[in-house]
Amino acid sequence: MAAYLTLVLEENNPAAPAYALGTLARGRGMTEIAKASGMGREALYKALRPDAQPRFETIARVCAALGVKLVAQPVNA
């Protein structure tokens, strides 16, 4: 999951991270991820649809529920 999210983030497509997290959450089970993130299942579906622009808090909660974290790395010149 972490490698997939890293690739998605490297694409620099603002819509891609929410879509990718939605794909991973559905694969794990949206109900399980909703419970682990403290969000409602329907709210999670809405936040992670392809055209959504979720808040960073939502992204962080879903990442934690999936067992991954976002990290910053220096850009190699």
User: Which amino acid makes up residue 1?
Assistant: M
What local confidence, expressed as pLDDT, does residue 33 receive? 96
77 pLDDT band, cuts 50/70/90, is low
- What pTM value is reported for the model? 0.87
- H-helix or E-strand spanning residue 35: helix 30-37
* Distance, C-alpha 77 to centroid of its chain: 28
Going 39 to 31 to 4 to 71, the CA torsion angle's sign is: positive
Given a cut of 80, whether residue 20 has pLDDT beyond it is yes
Given a cut of 90, whether residue 55 has pLDDT beyond it is yes
What local confidence, expressed as pLDDT, does residue 25 receive? 96
